[in-house]
Structure 1
C-alpha cells in the first residue's frame, strides 16, 4: 500500500506482475484507490482523476521498462 505524503491523493494498493512474453517480458500493474472528498471527490475522479491515475501508472511502468532495459542491455 502506497500512502501519499499529501492529503490530496488517496492511498493506493497495487500488485505488479511480471511475466515472460515471447523474447521479452510483460509488466502489469493492477491497483485500486478510493478518491477522497466524498461525492465531490468521486465526481472529480470520474471527470479527471481516473485519467490522471492511469497516466501516472503508465509513466511508472515506462520508467521501470527503461530501467530494466538499461541494466540488461550489454
Structure 2
C-alpha cells in the first residue's frame, strides 16, 4: 500500500507546479512525507530512500532537492 501511495504522489507532483515548489523547499525526507500527507498520500521516509535517481528527479524536477534532502549537506 505505501508503494502505491508513493507512486500516486509522484504522479501528482509531475503535474502540479505548486507542489513541485513545496518539495524544492523541503529540507528533509520527513518534510516530504509531511507534504505528501497533506495531499492525502501516506508513506514513510524509508520509501523515499528506495526510489531510483530518476524517480527522485521527478519529485523535485531537478537534482538540487535530491542532493539536499537525501544526502544532507553533501560535498561534491
TM-score bucket (shorter structure):
under 0.3
Q: Who wins on radius of gyration, i.e. which is larger?
A: 1
Give the structure, 1 or 2, with the largest relative contact order (CA under 8 Å, sep 6 or more): 2
Structure with more of its chain in strand, by fraction: 1
TM-score by length of 2: 0.25
TM-score by length of 1: 0.26
